[in-house]
Amino acid sequence: MKLSLNWLTQYIDCSLTPDELAYKLTMAGLEVEHIEKVGEDTVFEIEVTPNRPDCLNIIGLTREVAAILDKDMRLPEIQEYDDEGELDVTIEDPTGCGRYIGTLIDGISVKGTPVETLKLLSSMGANGISNIVDITNFTMFEFGQPLHAFDFDKLEGGKIIVRRAKKGEKIVTLDDVERVLDSTILVIADAVKPVAIAGIMGGRDTSVTSSTKRILLEAAHFDLGVIRRGSRKLGLTSDSAYRFERGVAWKTTETGSNRATDLILKIAGGKVVSRRDVIAKTLETTRHDISVSVSDIQSLLGAPLDLSKCEKILKRLGCVVATSHNNLTVIPPHNRGDLKIKQDIIEEVARVIGYDNLPMSLPNVKAINISVDLDRERFFDRVQDNLVAQGLHQIMTYALVSRPALEKSKYEGVKPIVLQNPMSAEQELMRPTMLPNFLTVMACNIHRGQKDLTLFEVAKRYLPGGERWTLGILMTGKRNMDWRLMKKAGVDLYDVKGAIEALATTLRVKGLSFVAVDDVRFELGQCAEVILNGKAIGRMGKVSDDVVTAWDVKKTAVYFAEIDLEDIRDAVLPQDKFMLLDEFPAMVRDLSLAVKDTPYEAMKMLAQENGKGLLRKIEFVELYTGDKIEAGLKGYVLSFTYQAKDRTLTDDEVNALHEDIAGKLIGKFGVKRR
């Protein structure tokens, strides 16, 4: 919307410089995008938001300036005209046109427009055509009501019919283009044919010329959706369509008609012969009261405002305001359909004052209202510090994930939580697993040349039963080892397992074990359930090659673990206390076994169960898969440490216990002694 400074100053005294005025308008929500000189005038290009069609005219913008500067407006005096005479106006489509005011003026003189009026129109980007046409444009820019003038003597039957076009009907519009119409287009017709495309553009055959003596002045209230669809269908737009598409107030139709009639009689002469105001449907024009209290204002803005100042601002904006004690009762003006609730009223006050001018105050926040689990925060800090100390890098990913991402990661868990109104398809679900997020980060880094990754994240998973704080770990590429080594080995599943065990040791968590399981997300035989004191708290393993390939990463071994941190937190033991060193010596026995499929963890658990309180430690010493062992088997060398707290163990006692444990391992798992 363009605003002519010369036109504005006809209605209000404004001593601000153009830059100062532009700043104040912008801070009030009417962004000035550009200022330019047009002859002796200054023109502002203003971005008007869709909810403010009342500002698509000079009077509307002047009202804004009046409120900002706290000054009175000088509005033009407008005569009212009676609804009388024989003019034949019919509305056949009340959906598309709710109101049509037709004014028949006889004895006009079509000639040039006064120079001062032409200058104002030129500043708005409109060329002078004739006094009649220029007055309709002038009134549209002034009050926001589009108008059209027909040469009444060119209307067949002297009739005006508002209807939908018939399929195949044609009209030559004012731009000399023949347009084919259909039943979706609303038209203004005479007794025979369409003479204008309603709300968009008039027809050439009934246009006003120098020989015109009688005109029919049209002011109508068209449905904004009908006009928008018609404009898009025909690929035709205009200043009229622009305003109708955004909504013109019901009362403005009458105001615009009266103002244009006044100007025509003054500049072009003539007299009003007939005037018809046809209303085809009833609109809700009653304005409802909105109550606003001082406490409402302070609560929303965080700053106290003077009630009398609020009242004055709202009156400047055209509201009817009544005060009672610490309350305002506000009736919005007819053209402000965006003011519906008390928050809208408070926002009007705030933007006119200027958000940068509002008194500053600190929010009144009571600590009792904030629930913070400091122990949990400290626990997470310990987890993160430990993993960083181990050489892992922390990442942060979105809590939302897409369906395709879950499908690519072969997720088969509980049904994920779906957002009712997602911002995009990529953010449709609350993540039930962290694997897709980690794989996305991994792929991004690998595609940019960073192939050695050790990543972790402490974040929430979202499950139907509630949120769960979770630790995710991903490793791929080469292991970060001693710089003196000539060649680095690749990471494997034991690196992930070691990171989890090291974390558990630091946190004083005992009872951690790993049991082999099958999971479609991981390679067969390379997945383990993480068990804590008999409860499954997560899984770890080598991510399936199919899953990795789905992220456009090939021939890369990726290892991932996901464990429940809340279960680990619950298992943290109290601070260790000093314990006296054992007085009695320990005795060590080794055991060499040929094993087929039995995991070390299962054998370790069985041995501890049968250690009779004397088995202090079991260590995995060696794995052998050479030629000296039977095909299909692998050699385990395990070291057992025996020690008593109250005496020195004898060789016979240790040998008997060691042989008993070996026998149970052989009997339980079918392993062979080497």
Helix (H, G, I), strand (E, B) or coil at 56: coil
DSSP class of residue 461 equals: E
pLDDT, residue 186, reads 96
pLDDT, residue 481, reads 64
Pull the structure tokens for residue 626.
Answer: 């050479």
> CATH number for the 2-69 domain, one of 3.40.50.10540, 3.30.56.10, 3.30.200.20, 3.40.50.10070?
3.30.56.10
Pairing type for strands 512-516 and 522-532 reads: antiparallel
pLDDT, residue 368, reads 60
pLDDT, residue 603, reads 87
Residue pair 108/271 in contact (Cβ under 8 Å)? The answer is no
Q: Is it true that 374-570 and 587-673 share their CATH fold?
A: no
Pull the structure tokens for residue 476.
Answer: 């791929």
The residues of the chain scoring below 50 in pLDDT are none
Within 10 angstroms of residue 628's Cβ, the number of other Cβ atoms is 8
Short-list 422, 474, 469, CA closest to 453: 474
Class at the top of the CATH hierarchy for domain 587-673 = alpha beta
pLDDT, residue 24, reads 92
Residue pair 452/460 in contact (Cβ under 8 Å)? The answer is no
- Alpha-helical (H) ranges within 551-599 are 565-570
Which residues, at least 6 apart from 63, have a Cβ–Cβ distance to it below 8 Å? 73, 316, 317, 318
Helix (H, G, I), strand (E, B) or coil at 572: coil
Quick one: how far is CA 492 from the chain centroid? 41
CA atoms within 13 A of residue 151's CA, in its CB half-sphere? 15
pLDDT, residue 502, reads 94
CATH code assigned to 290-357: 3.30.56.10
Pull the structure tokens for residue 607.
Answer: 């041995």
Q: What do you get for the CA distance between the two ends of the chain, in Å? A: 93
pLDDT, residue 363, reads 67
Pull the structure tokens for residue 539.
Answer: 């899984």
Domain residue spans in the chain? 2-69, 88-279, 290-357, 374-570, 587-673
- Alpha-helical (H) ranges within 238-391 are 239-246, 250-267, 294-301, 307-316, 342-353, 374-389
> CATH number for the 374-570 domain, one of 3.50.50.60, 3.20.20.10, 3.30.930.10, 3.40.50.2300?
3.30.930.10
Query: How buried is residue 581: exposed, middle or buried, by Cβ count under 10 Å (0-12/13-18/19+)?
Result: exposed
Pairing type for strands 178-180 and 170-172 reads: antiparallel
Single-letter code of the amino acid located at 247: G
Query: How buried is residue 443: exposed, middle or buried, by Cβ count under 10 Å (0-12/13-18/19+)?
Result: middle
Within 10 angstroms of residue 294's Cβ, the number of other Cβ atoms is 16
Element (H, E) at 489: none
Single-letter code of the amino acid located at 3: L
Longest distance between any two alpha carbons in the chain, whole Å: 134
pLDDT, residue 369, reads 59
Helix (H, G, I), strand (E, B) or coil at 544: coil
Short-list 457, 450, 472, CA closest to 530: 472
Q: Which residues pair with 272 in a beta bridge?
A: 105
Torsion region of 436: left, alpha or beta (phi above 0 gives left; psi -120 to 50 gives alpha): alpha
Element (H, E) at 624: strand 615-624
CATH superfamily of 88-279: Phenylalanyl-trna Synthetase, Chain B, domain 3 (3.50.40.10)
| Beta sheet of 271-279, edge-to-edge order | 147-151, 214-222, 97-106, 271-279
Helix (H, G, I), strand (E, B) or coil at 223: coil
Residue pair 344/300 in contact (Cβ under 8 Å)? The answer is no
Q: How far apart, in whole angstroms, are the C-alpha atoms of residue 589 and residue 649?
A: 13
Q: How far apart, in whole angstroms, are the C-alpha atoms of residue 217 and residue 207?
A: 12
pLDDT, residue 185, reads 95
Q: How far apart, in whole angstroms, are the C-alpha atoms of residue 553 and residue 595?
A: 35
Per residue in 367-414, pLDDT (tens digit) is 665 667 788 899 999 999 999 999 999 999 999 999 999 999 999 888
Element (H, E) at 538: strand 535-543
